[in-house]
Amino acid sequence: MNLNCSLWQDNSMSVKRFAFARFSEVTEQCFLLFTLILLMFLASLTGNALIALAIWTNPVLHTPMYFFLANLSLLEIGYTCSVVPKMLQSLVSEARGISREGCATQMFFFTLFAISECCLLAAMAFDRYMAICSPLHYATRMSRGLCVCLAVVSWGVGCMVGLGQTNYIFSLDFCGPCEINHFFCDLPPILALACGDTSHNEAAVFVVAILCISSPFLLIIASYGRILAAVLIMPSPEGRRKALSTCSSHLLVVTLFYGSGSVTYLRPKASHSPRMDKLLALFYTVVTSMLNPVIYSLRNKEVKTALRRTLDKKNVLTRG
- Print pLDDT tens along the chain (320 aa): 445 554 455 544 567 788 888 777 777 888 898 999 999 999 999 989 988 888 888 888 889 988 999 999 999 999 899 999 988 888 888 777 888 899 999 999 999 999 999 999 999 999 999 988 888 888 888 999 999 999 999 999 999 999 999 998 888 888 767 888 888 888 888 888 888 778 888 888 888 878 888 889 899 999 999 998 888 888 888 778 877 777 888 888 888 888 877 777 666 666 667 777 777 778 878 888 888 888 877 667 777 777 777 666 655 555 55
Burial of 151: CB neighbours in 10 Å, binned 0-12, 13-18, 19+: buried
For 86, the enclosing helix (H) or strand (E) is helix 84-92
Q: Are 202 and 189 in contact (CB under 8 A)?
A: no
Closest CA to 5 of 100, 16, 185: 16
**If you ran DSSP here, which 8-state letter would residue 284 be given?**
I
Rounded CA gap, 274 and 294, in Å? 30
Cα–Cα distance between 94 and 91 in angstroms, integer? 8
State residue 9 phi and psi, 5-degree precision.
Answer: -125, 150
244 vs 262: CA distance, rounded Å: 25
Distance CA(218)–CA(240), nearest Å, equals: 24
Residues 303 and 57: beta-carbon distance below 8 Å: no
pTM: 0.85
